[in-house]
Amino acid sequence: MDLIMAASTTQISKRTGNNRIRDKDSADKIAAQQQNSSILSKISSKDKSAVKHCVEKYGTAVWLISKKFTDSPEEAEKLTCEIFSELWENIENFDCSKTNDDYFIMMIALKCVKKYQKNLI
């Protein structure tokens, strides 16, 4: 029921252009639902289907970043695999109350790109 209320509030806000939520309890409920629906939160709780969803959602973006810093599609693929491996190894550092999935994944990607560049030189 709360999920339906939150979705309805979001839809009404989109239609009316009012992005503010007047009820603090509703805002807290929406924030909690967003944290619970975080892909990385699900991965950290060992939800195997979340790993597949993560790769489906972020795989292209991660590969494009990898491609930008590598010389070939094959190297980009290797770097992409390294990024997702690094993500898996560091998932315990993810705190959905402090950051979101997008930011955490991109920071892991940049960390791996820097490692990749150091190994090339």
Please tell me the pTM assigned to this model.
0.67
d(CA 16, CA 90): 41
d(CA 82, CA 7): 36
Quick one: what percent of the chain has pLDDT higher than 70? 69
Joined tokens for residue 69: 């810093």
| Cα→Cα distances 3→7, 25, 47, 48, Å | 6, 13, 21, 24
Residue reference for tokens 């690094």? 86
* Nearest to 48, CA basis, from 11, 88, 12: 88
Over the stretch 65-114, which tens digit does the pLDDT of each residue have?
999 999 899 999 999 999 999 999 999 999 888 999 999 999 999 999 99
Joined tokens for residue 13: 């806000």
d(CA 108, CA 85): 10
Where in the chain are all domains bearing CATH 1.10.1740.10? 39-121
Q: What is the pLDDT of residue 14?
A: 45
The CATH code for residues 39-121 is: 1.10.1740.10
